[in-house]
A and B are shown apart, each in its own frame.
Chain A
């Protein structure tokens, strides 16, 4: 299970990668593994919309379940990954790169302070798997 070091993680299995005042958001390797084969991604937001930390930004359907993706931060959406519409399996094959979901400009970088580091997230997963 991959857990890139330069990302921050949520308890609901999203990751966020910060690049100055911009950030990219997706779901973790753990999440895609739990969901198994992903067959559909429905984006619930659009470019230029503003979102608040905790908002649902997408719904993911796999052969096993349907799950919501919650935004780890507040901001304005600058891009959505349109490839997911036709190739939702990118979330399985490459959750941290090609399987990104949205990009935003951050309202308040301090919001990220209570998210988990890669080490904390790994420990959290081990606990859940336990």
Chain B
């Protein structure tokens, strides 16, 4: 037990506050709740515990064992071995913000490189040093927009095709802000909705319009008109993007997005049960004063050597207290480094190649699956990147149970989030999937229909 105080110190403190004993401090808690008897097994030795944990861990299976067609926000990409080697260097191995930042030149340089890569990827003006994940970055985009109108615009318009978990996070974060309403996100527009319906929700009371690109169903939508409408009404536009897709798609900056956010997990970060991931947050330069977190800049020291400094922390909690835009303080430094190393290793050519492979393989898989009896593409006329929706002849969870026998992780069951999407599977295909893997998947699906 950790006991920081000596009996003399405890006695002294009790005397000062005028209490006789430690127990007296808990007087208000009914006695029977103070130290309830816990139903715990007998203690084990270290060796016994290790053996038990090993046995429990053996029940786990990962994408090392399974062929995975599961995406829906987290993607199983190949991670070059050098990413982990560099991350594990002692000099980098902390997630913590350096509190005397300029001493940590290596960390600052890594963040500077990360920011530069993110702005290049998105064609946005400025990137901060990261948020927790894609969901929180998206919610923080809504908060930034709210504050940039000083709370006067009360409406947040969210596409129903934004990742359902992100939509939930937006609602959680906006909850408690005076009179703010989140609209469009409840899926009440229907899955075949086009963006004119979303567009009709945008008015002078709208602070931000949030869309996903490619959307949750993997579709590549042209948001040009929607962005125009939002800007006509003076509202901001946030793109939630998949970074891998930007290897071949027109970037959010070219759509005139005001804010572009995304999850950096596909950039060299393992899926690992849903986290820790990396939130990417980029903006047009006019919103820099509202940007959460920190910005690192490059300069020269008094001897003319290249040096990195903490250039701006305008909205950070330790400076602005209750008036900060966000309470984020410690960025995902280690994971931002992973993304930086990943992108640097691949280079522009390699990264485009990954995106192209994802695209080609996904399209091959879609074509093969759509040939099966009982299976068809839900949106056959809409372009997609590396994820697509398949209508299935049986409930998706039933199919997935069958696929598990073949060591295949099937796609995401969309009926979990969309009422009118019973028997709809969201299938993701990354560069890790081979042609043989796709053949196996298709054959296993065929078995399901014949069973």
Q: Does B323 sit at the interface, judged by CB under 8 A?
A: yes
Docked pose: A66 CA to B320 CA in angstroms = 8
Residue numbers in B under 8 Å from A40 (CB-CB): 289, 314
Nearest-neighbor residue (CB-CB) of A61 within chain B:
B314
Shortest B408–chain A CB gap in Å is: 54
A45 to chain B, nearest CB (A): 8
Is B150 at the interface (CB under 8 A from chain A)? yes
Residues on A with C-beta less than 8 A from B314 are 40, 61, 66
Contact of B289 among A42, A44, A46, A68 (CB under 8 A): A42
Tell whether, in the assembled complex, residue B320 and residue A44 are in contact, meaning their CB atoms are under 8 Å apart: no
Alpha-carbon gap, A46 to B150, bound state (A): 10
In-complex Cβ contact of B150 among A44, A61, A66, A68 (8 A): A44
Nearest-Cβ distance from residue B299 to partner chain A, whole angstroms: 14
Cβ of A117 within 8 Å of any chain B Cβ, yes or no, is: no
Within 8 A of A (CB), among B115-156: 150
Category for how many chain A residues contact B: under 10
The reply on A36 being an interface residue by CB < 8 A is no
Contacts of A42 in B (CB 8 A): 289
Considering only residues 148-171 of chain B, those with a C-beta below 8 Å from chain A are 150
Chain B interface, DSSP helix/strand/loop, else mixed: helix
Contact with B along A54-73 (1 / 0, CB 8 A): 00000101000010100000
Distance in angstroms from B220 CB to nearest chain A CB is: 38
Name the interface residues of A3-36: CB closer than 8 Å to any CB of B: none
A59 to B319, CA, bound (A): 12
> In the complex, what residues of B have CB within 8 A of residue A59's CB?
323
Say yes or no: A66 contacts B319, CB within 8 Å.
yes
Give the complex CA separation of A82 and B324 in angstroms.
Answer: 23
Return the chain B residue nearest A59 by Cβ: B323
Chain A residues contacting B323 (CB-CB under 8 Å) are 59, 68
The answer for the CA separation of A40 and B314 in the assembled complex, in Å, is 10
Measured CA separation A106–B323 after assembly (Å) = 27
**Distance between Cα atoms of A44 and B289 in the complex (Å):** 13
Q: Please, which residue of chain A has its CB at the minimum distance from the CB of B321?
A: A66
Bound complex: CA of A44 vs CA of B296, how far in Å? Answer: 27
Produce 1/0 per residue, B274-314, CB < 8 A to A. 00000000000000010000000000000000000000001
Which residue on chain A has the smallest CB distance to residue B314? Answer: A61
Nearest chain A CB to B7's CB is how many angstroms away?
45
Measured CB to CB, the closest approach of chain B to A51, in angstroms, equals 13
Report which residue of A44, A59, A66, A68 has the largest number of chain B beta carbons within 10 angstroms of its beta carbon. A66
Chain A nearest CB: distance from B424 CB in Å?
Answer: 47
One digit per residue, 1 when the CB lies within 8 angstroms of any chain B CB and 0 when it does not, for chain A 37-53 equals: 00010101010000000
Chain B residues whose CB sits within 8 angstroms of the CB of A44 once the complex forms: 150
In the assembled complex, how far is the CB of residue B291 from the closest CB belonging to chain A, in whole angstroms? 13
Task: Report the minimal beta-carbon distance from B302 to chain A, rounded to whole angstroms.
Answer: 17
Enumerate A106-126 residues with CB–CB distance to B below 8 Å. none
Report the minimal beta-carbon distance from A8 to chain B, rounded to whole angstroms.
26
Contacts of B319 in A (CB 8 A): 66
B-contacting residues of A (Cβ < 8 Å)?
Answer: 40, 42, 44, 46, 59, 61, 66, 68
Supplied contacts A40-B314, A42-B289, A59-B323, 8 more A-B pairs, CB within 8 Å:
A40-B289, A44-B150, A46-B150, A61-B314, A66-B314, A66-B319, A66-B320, A68-B323
| Pairs A-B, 4 closest by C-beta atoms | A66-B319, A40-B289, A66-B320, A42-B289
A-B contact pairs, 11 of them (CB 8 A): A40-B289, A40-B314, A42-B289, A44-B150, A46-B150, A59-B323, A61-B314, A66-B314, A66-B319, A66-B320, A68-B323
